[in-house]
Structure 1
Amino acid sequence: MYTAGLCTLFSLLMSSLVSGLPVRVVNGGADLRDENGARRRGITLPMKGRAVVKRNVEELLVGSIGLGDFADVVYTVAIQIGNTTTAVNLDTGSSDLWVMSTSCQTSVCRQSNATAFSVATFQSTEANVNLTFGDATTGTFAAGPIGLDNVTLAGLSLPNQPFAAVDNTDNTAVLNGGAGIIGLGFPAESTIQNEVVAQKFNNPSTTDDFISNINTYGPFVSRLVASGVIDQPLFAITLQRDTIDVSGSGKITIGELPAGVDNSSITWVPVRLYDPAEGGLDPPTFASNESYPLRWEVPIENVYLDGKQLANSTIPPNGVPSSFVSALIDSGNSLIRGPQDVVNNILSTVSPPTLPCASAHNLTYQIGGRLFPVDPRDFIAQAENGNASTCVASSVVSTDPPSVGTLFSWSLGDPFLKSNMVVFYYGNLTHPSVDPPRIGFRSMVPTNASALLDEAVSVASQDHGNFESTVNVAPTSSEVFEITVTSTATTSAPSHSMPPIDRTSSQNSSASVTKPHLFRSCFSIVAPVVYLSFLLVF
């Protein structure tokens, strides 16, 4: 009895120490910063725990885990597929899960140091897939058979999750800390779900088949949402900064807002819905008036550079009428991509072709009536090693104009996400009008960001002219909480200030979720890699 009591006490103490955030290590004891800009030194362990909230009847889940970061180029998260634990790139710009298998012998697979998927537990669906990523100038592919296996992310597990065991790819995602990609986008953009549903039903399948099987064959987090087992149909991402001025904490929280974040501090904006004429899904017969989201895309009102509003692009879209300007929020994009004429205006203003590293510029996006800047520390990059005085604005590049199926003008990647906490709310996946999807934004840029850039330049000048840079490996420890709620909860009316919790019957299903223990003794890490690709988009 006494032994059991001690073990229980030990488990409670340990569960308060392990939060799934990465251990922050910087060579030589270099300074670290918290999210408010205060400096700290050495190794830090999160010391924050949360009690299980008890309400009434229904048990729902929330999971969280820290992120890996390879020099701010790739952000990875640990995942278990079958018997294989590896890291994959976290990508809000795509919808499919794929991982290189031990059968992949392409150049990038042979160079990869990530753990490849072992096909021992792979259940083939007899379907194959060829996934494409990037734009016209940075396109890559990943191809292979589609199978089913048990998948665990952030301590949340689903059986029979569809994914691609890639045996042929040129995607550099496998070279920078990950073995593939987990897409967190909407089902409508899931090629894997489409292929599996077509294989199981009619080829080609109907929209009715596709929408009705999100809970069975949809993307991982979409299945969690459709199954109704997480507390709220959302996930939140914060990204750490591992270059210029090492600071911040990278984390994904699935099922509720991160601990300590109040909804009143978040600006909510509706996600763009696509009609069939714009490249969207044909509505199913059981929801004939619905329009569906394709990706995490929101309207933006204006763009500012150093407080001056920039003119909108005059480049016409391809094959679609001009409407409002929108932006894709894409964690799989290591840059900010925009219209060629607007980007040229930005670069010619601040960087012809270089700029002083200590010159703080503010690229700001007006979204939902509020301003969300890119931190000046995330706007620049060192022009050459050993020179902390001369930089380039290499984080901003041009991209394709809007076209059918891709109506966004901007793709706001990691520089934007390092500067802002972003919350992705799915709403109702089968009937979006009941509970529309939206994205929430909260600026993380400290008021003294310009001074922090000056200090980082000063520190680099004293360190042989080189800025701070480090690598965080993807931790595998995670937090999982069971939250008990009343079984008589009703759907709230849609609101731009507070995302409702939608537990309507249209999303309920028989899909099961494995409930992990609150504390999981898992301290292994995914080995870091030594290869870097600077212009990366998935």
Structure 2
Amino acid sequence: MPSTGWGKGKQRASQSWRRDDSDEGDAGGEGAVVPLQYVGESAYDAAYTLPITIGSSNLSVSLQVDTGSSDLWVTGASCSTSPCNNVPSSKRYDPSSSTTAISSGTAFNATYLKGQALGLVGWDTIDIGGYTIATQALAIASSVDSEPLSSSFNGIIGLSLPVNSLITQSIPSTSSSAPDGAQFTSNLFSLSPSSLSPAARFLSLTLERPGSSTIPSLFGIGKHPSTDQVPQIGNGSNVHYSKPLASLTPVGTSAGILFWKSAIQDITVWVNGQPKPVAVQKSSYESIPSAILDTGTPIILSTKVIADAIYGAIGVSPANDGNYYVDCKTPLNLTVTLDGRPPISVHPLDLTTPPPSTQTSSSSCIGLIQAADPSLSGVADMILGVPFIRNTYMVLAYEVPDSDGSFPDLRPSNDNPQSPADSAVGDQLFPMLGLQGLTNATVALGKRI
């Protein structure tokens, strides 16, 4: 099912946009590439944050990029729960300090696989990478639980599909210029006048591996990273796209495209250079095994059947505590094939982590693919979190790219206000998930913990 259209009026039909390697921070039609910051003290709280400014006071905050949720929230000045105490007052949002803030009184309650944020919805001006949205709906969190907030992690910006937004469900988007519940992505690609919005409707991510400078952490807005930043990406023509899978309701009917979700076609473990394909069994509610790509999950989650099969290929069974322990000198080499793309190699350094010394011998590492059947039930067979996404260039596109990887300029030729609720071009806009593997399998095979 195509996503809801954003544009009004006649489309530009002939122009396509490729990367310009200059002026990475500029906005407008050419797009922008913004550095992300890696935060976290262990593999279990790894997060990547994006700098944004909010309100007339230009409050600077850092929000975790989360491709598994669809809402934007920031730590409020009044939040007093334990995680909020780690956020300095200079990084907390107080709508009374912004002359552009608007209150709604609408409650917000986001519950994640781990963590929760409660508060009220409001509107204010935000700026990301040089793009300014005048009345962006956001939640001001007055209570946060089990989130590793800090001076460098002050909230979340959800980059999953707009239809999955809790705020949009409470405050539907409209076709007028009045404040509504439209998601950040929807507003970004419908800025007025249209010359202010990105010509290419996509966002992109690369995530660094701690301790390595090979791949930097970058957030692209309608623009690929430069060849100086990530040479492997080139002009984007090696990115392979597919339409995300629809989610299903408990009775098996389509709930629409909620996540960046793919079909798992193959998982292969490589042992001494020899492939050992894993039998990937699907869950009972879907016709094919599936995986959600989620930058908000610091590890990889799977059904126990899949986790047992992956570790079983190297002779490892789950321990009494449910973890899978791997000899730190024995790399876990893995490739994953999604939606008919070429196999994506996952670096062994992303698949294990040293355990606390109180748990087990220092010669054993904990595998970062863990069984989590209760969390996955009715959702997917795997959540491919940070360890997988570090090995990819991930493109979240809202239009179908041309065969050479470039994107047509779909901005309207007039400057009428635009809205995600306008369906005039809805049948011409499709969410497309793009992936390009960035890890050289031969190099990865030679690495050890």
Using the size of structure 1 for normalisation, the TM-score is: 0.63
CA 450–62 in structure 1, closer or farther in 2 if over 3 Å, else same: closer
Q: State the match for 2:94 in structure 1.
A: 118
Q: State the match for 1:398 in structure 2.
A: 372
CA 67–279 in structure 1, closer or farther in 2 if over 3 Å, else same: farther
Q: State the match for 1:66 in structure 2.
A: 35
8 Å CA contact 1:231–1:256 kept in 2: the answer is no
8 Å CA contact 2:276–2:313 kept in 1: the answer is no
Q: State the match for 1:298 in structure 2.
A: 262
Among residues 195, 199, 206, which one is paired with 1:231 in the alignment? 199
Partner amino acid for 2:262?
Answer: V
Give the number of aligned pairs.
Answer: 370
CA 395–315 in structure 1, closer or farther in 2 if over 3 Å, else same: closer
CA 433–362 in structure 1, closer or farther in 2 if over 3 Å, else same: farther
Among residues 194, 197, 222, which one is paired with 1:255 in the alignment? 222
* Structure-to-structure mapping, 1:43-192, within 5 angstroms: 50=22, 60-71=29-40, 73-82=46-55, 83=57, 84-113=59-88, 115-119=91-95, 120-121=97-98, 122-134=101-113, 138=114, 140-175=115-150, 177-192=152-167
CA 215–237 in structure 1, closer or farther in 2 if over 3 Å, else same: farther
8 Å CA contact 1:88–1:182 kept in 2: the answer is yes
CA distance in 1, matches of 2:387, 2:365: 16
CA distance in 1, matches of 2:178, 2:298: 29
* Structure-to-structure mapping, 1:455-474, within 5 angstroms: 457=449
Map Cα deviations across residues 93-144 of structure 1 (whole Å, 9 max, x no partner): 000000111100012112335821122223101212111111xxx3x22111
Among residues 305, 321, 337, which one is paired with 1:366 in the alignment? 337
Shift of 1:275: 7.0
Using the size of structure 2 for normalisation, the TM-score is: 0.74
8 Å CA contact 1:99–1:179 kept in 2: the answer is yes
Mind listing any 5+ residue stretches in structure 2 that lack a counterpart?
1-19, 228-233, 318-323, 401-419
CA 315–389 in structure 1, closer or farther in 2 if over 3 Å, else same: same
Map Cα deviations across residues 410-445 of structure 1 (whole Å, 9 max, x no partner): 111100111111111123965654232111111111
Among residues 310, 315, 318, which one is paired with 1:346 in the alignment? 310
CA distance in 1, matches of 2:178, 2:326: 49
Q: State the match for 2:439 in structure 1.
A: 445
Identity %: 22
The structure where helix makes up a greater share of residues is: 1
**Aligned pair 1:383/2:355, yes or no?**
yes
Determine helix, strand or coil for the equivalent of 2:189. Answer: helix
8 Å CA contact 1:146–1:165 kept in 2: the answer is yes
Q: Considering only CA atoms, is the larger Rg found in Structure 1 or Structure 2?
A: 1
CA distance in 1, matches of 2:78, 2:381: 38
Q: State the match for 2:210 in structure 1.
A: 242
8 Å CA contact 2:299–2:384 kept in 1: the answer is yes
CA 347–177 in structure 1, closer or farther in 2 if over 3 Å, else same: farther
Shift of 1:345: 2.6
8 Å CA contact 2:66–2:158 kept in 1: the answer is yes
Shift of 1:447: 3.9
CA 222–399 in structure 1, closer or farther in 2 if over 3 Å, else same: farther
Shift of 1:210: 6.3
RMSD of aligned Cα (Å): 3.0
Mind listing any 5+ residue stretches in structure 1 that lack a counterpart?
1-47, 53-58, 198-208, 282-291, 458-538
Map Cα deviations across residues 7-51 of structure 1 (whole Å, 9 max, x no partner): xxxxxxxxxxxxxxxxxxxxxxxxxxxxxxxxxxxxxxxxx9606
Determine helix, strand or coil for the equivalent of 2:80. Answer: coil
8 Å CA contact 1:173–1:181 kept in 2: the answer is no
**Aligned pair 1:421/2:393, yes or no?**
yes
Map Cα deviations across residues 139-195 of structure 1 (whole Å, 9 max, x no partner): x22111111101111221110100001101204142483111000111111111222
* Structure-to-structure mapping, 1:12-31, within 5 angstroms: none
Determine helix, strand or coil for the equivalent of 2:29. Answer: strand
CA distance in 2, matches of 1:212, 1:392: 52
